[in-house]
Structure 1
């Protein structure tokens, strides 16, 4: 079973009126905060440009669109949303918190006595009523960053390395030669070839993610899965592969991923408040177990917008950032409304015919989104918890359908 430490920082918003007042106060305060948070990456010319209080017509249109989205969230059109942030050119354009009474809302669904019950409000979506929010599969994108740092610092390893020699000591069947040929890159791009079902509802007891999280040894569960296809040939969304990546990071660095993250990513970015979920076998849940504050998720976005640099220091290589966010695989979700690519644990919701990335994102179950468009130097963060009902509108489409058209308005 997972053991959780208590972090007792209570959510202060109590009423709708209080929320409205706090949003305005918070927006003013957060502009100052963002200067501290990502100002180290802001050039003097950007600072000068923000002194001009006269907004361009396109900025006025964007402000109106943001206000409209905020109103629709308050109206419930986007379901259960608790945070909405927009940052452009290192300037905070919007930061809204929404008070959701999750305990009352989801308690009727809380019927499963399971350590990873997603309707257990003791730890979802906020960790122990703190400001730490579940990231779910956004965790995968951060795991990819941490692997990139490990490979940057260890010349003996690269994405072409076979995965199985880095996963010794487990009671699993390695007789199938196809399994022995799985590379690190195959795991990164969800093309391991392992038989895996994660496309059904998470509470479906045949869902491999449900079964993984119910098991006592996550890595052995993944390694025990039979092969379905040749490695590197077919995209199948597989959180188990990301669990293996977490263990591979430990093999390469000699450190469990939470310690590696603290040393090589969180501490350099000034992220001091976070939580990783520990698995029953003493490893870390690298497929969905990280909790961060929304402000700190913005730092991850800023790091990538600056091509892996933070405060003048290269945290992860520019090449890793570019490759991770490129559509290495194209149209991986044909049934989605937009043509979507996939990189190294990052989604690419929009790209050109020649493979140039227009938008890339880290996506998490329930409505966790870190969305970035380099052309407009813009970051959007959404946190929410839409797991029991599909809302009328999707926050995943906000950037493409609402924000970018406003930015292009003339």
Structure 2
């Protein structure tokens, strides 16, 4: 009996010892994880501080704002004051909304905190179209575009033009002849000619076709202008009103400006102004798969498809292997289609960039339009921040 009791005591002690050791291992593991997290955060902070220092040193040219958000926590918010009034004196500063050197319009709207987004506007136009299609089941991305663009004095006889789908416009594969790859001040540039025209939609629709829709990527802001009109046709509301009702108000965005075209439409290819923090809010909406405060603002499927590399290596002349979705750029993706980074990019240095795996949002506002800086903010996330998080 005594021997049995001794055995029970010994077993109990062994069990207790095992539990204690397991507890120690768990605590040690947690301690190691905490140490790793602190080390990673310190390394990230060091990189952010380094980039900020380089911006102040002028390495990235004219930068106005730099935001870093991870796991809904603001890690950095740097503002930079540039004397644009003096900088632009050697350029034409005629007061016109598409004169990019006029300081009433660029980079801030009339001395406010609203910053021009340029082609980041295209990505937001895509969101608004996605919401419209989510709520109107009679239309989808396969719907032909031309029947939604009636009432214009243009020639639709070319069967190729008749076959353009909404998805062809979203993925810059409309087949419409378009030249937007030269300097914006080049007077043969279709974006320049578009912005100088009295009727933007007619200008785009009057362009001839040069290839079969859906076959070739050609960067075309005119296609995004057509998407803006299509939103109006589907919803019965001009896109700025639709945005206010279905996107901005639900996200708590109360302050914005959108350029109006001479024909009474809205510039959906480059005319939106937002505060940097409100642009970051749109990034947070996408990281949360289209949901905000428990409400689905835009469908998860639209977010996923928009930010997937539907087209791969669309800019082979760039050093980056870049994909393209529904008006979103995909600067980092794997062969299986998984996405490391997706971004909304705009002229002059407007970037809303997300790294979903790391729950990370980067916002840059800048205005590098008259000279090219030594370093590009476009590569800060991929080349500077992500490698730090992987260590």
Q: TM-score, normalised by structure 1?
A: 0.86
Which of these residues, 385, 400, 403, is aligned with residue 382 of structure 2? 400
| Residue equivalent to 1:3 | none
SS in 2 for 1:383: strand
Query: 2: distance between equivalents of 1:181 and 1:107?
Result: 48
Aligned alpha-carbon RMSD (Å): 1.2
Query: 2: distance between equivalents of 1:375 and 1:53?
Result: 21
Query: 1: distance between equivalents of 2:269 and 2:253?
Result: 20
| Residue equivalent to 2:251 | 269
Of 275-284 and 52-61, more deviation after overlay is shown by 52-61
Per-residue deviation at 1:115?
4.4
Q: TM-score, normalised by structure 2?
A: 0.90
Q: Which has the larger radius of gyration?
A: 2
Per-residue deviation at 1:335?
1.1
Query: 2: distance between equivalents of 1:73 and 1:338?
Result: 22
Query: 2: distance between equivalents of 1:64 and 1:209?
Result: 40
| Residue equivalent to 1:146 | 128
| Residue equivalent to 2:263 | 281
Per-residue deviation at 1:338?
1.1
Deviation per residue, 1:102-160 (Å, 9 max, x gap) = 11112212256754111111110000000000000000000000000000000000000
Which of these residues, 284, 288, 293, is aligned with residue 306 of structure 1? 288
Query: 2: distance between equivalents of 1:177 and 1:133?
Result: 41
Which of these residues, 230, 236, 252, is aligned with residue 248 of structure 1? 230
| Residue equivalent to 2:98 | 116
Instruction: State yes or no: 1:160 paired with 2:142.
Output: yes
- Taking the TM superposition and a 5 Å limit, the aligned residue runs for 1:22-41 are none
Instruction: State yes or no: 1:295 paired with 2:273.
Output: no
Of 344-353 and 109-118, more deviation after overlay is shown by 109-118
Deviation per residue, 1:157-176 (Å, 9 max, x gap) = 00000000000000001010
Query: 2: distance between equivalents of 1:369 and 1:110?
Result: 26
Query: Which runs of 5 or more structure 2 residues have no equivalent in the other structure?
Result: 1-33
| Residue equivalent to 2:52 | 70
Query: 2: distance between equivalents of 1:380 and 1:115?
Result: 27
SS in 1 for 2:363: strand
| Residue equivalent to 1:16 | none
- Taking the TM superposition and a 5 Å limit, the aligned residue runs for 1:326-365 are 326-365=308-347
Moved >3 Å (runs of 4+):
52-55, 111-115
Instruction: State yes or no: 1:171 paired with 2:158.
Output: no
Query: 2: distance between equivalents of 1:371 and 1:68?
Result: 19
| Residue equivalent to 2:298 | 316
Query: 1: distance between equivalents of 2:114 and 2:69?
Result: 20
| Residue equivalent to 1:215 | 197
Mapped contact 2:97–2:105 kept (Cα < 8 A): no
SS in 2 for 1:355: coil
Query: Which runs of 5 or more structure 1 residues have no equivalent in the other structure?
Result: 1-51
Which of these residues, 51, 63, 77, is aligned with residue 81 of structure 1? 63
SS in 1 for 2:110: helix
Query: 2: distance between equivalents of 1:389 and 1:210?
Result: 19
Which of these residues, 181, 200, 203, is aligned with residue 163 of structure 2? 181
Query: 2: distance between equivalents of 1:54 and 1:270?
Result: 36
Per-residue deviation at 1:408?
1.1
Query: 1: distance between equivalents of 2:89 and 2:314?
Result: 35
SS in 1 for 2:183: coil
Which of these residues, 89, 97, 100, is aligned with residue 107 of structure 1? 89
SS in 2 for 1:380: strand
